Amino acid sequence: MSSAELKQHIEHTKRVKEVREAMEVIVNATNTMGTEDEVVCGMVEGIENCHRTLQQSFMRCFAEAMKEYGDTRFFDARNEASVKFAKKIGEMEEYFPFI
């Protein structure tokens, strides 16, 4: 592996870890019964307050993540509806151009 490839691998690993940790914070924020509306409000405000191009990039990444999550084989009754929902999102033919 060349030094450029190693650097790219390290950056990739770092980015994946950062995003995974951010997702854990968001998912854990839903761990309080009856506060779903507050979580939704925070999520929408967070997205709306970002640059428009970043909103588009986020939705592109979200759609791709749902495609992959919808193909997971690791589910049971507790998250079956989530996997089915993700699969439906993944089947959509939406295009998110980079503008």
- pLDDT digits over 50-91, tens only? 999 999 999 999 999 999 999 999 999 999 999 999 999 999
| Domain boundaries defined on the chain | 1-49, 51-99
CA 46/CA 50 separation, integer angstroms:
7
CA 9/CA 3 separation, integer angstroms:
10
pLDDT higher than threshold 90 for residue 23: yes
Predicted local confidence at residue 1, as pLDDT: 82
Residues in the chain: 99
Query: Tokens 């914070």 identify what position?
Result: 25
H or E element: which one contains 86? helix 80-91
What is the reported pTM?
A: 0.83
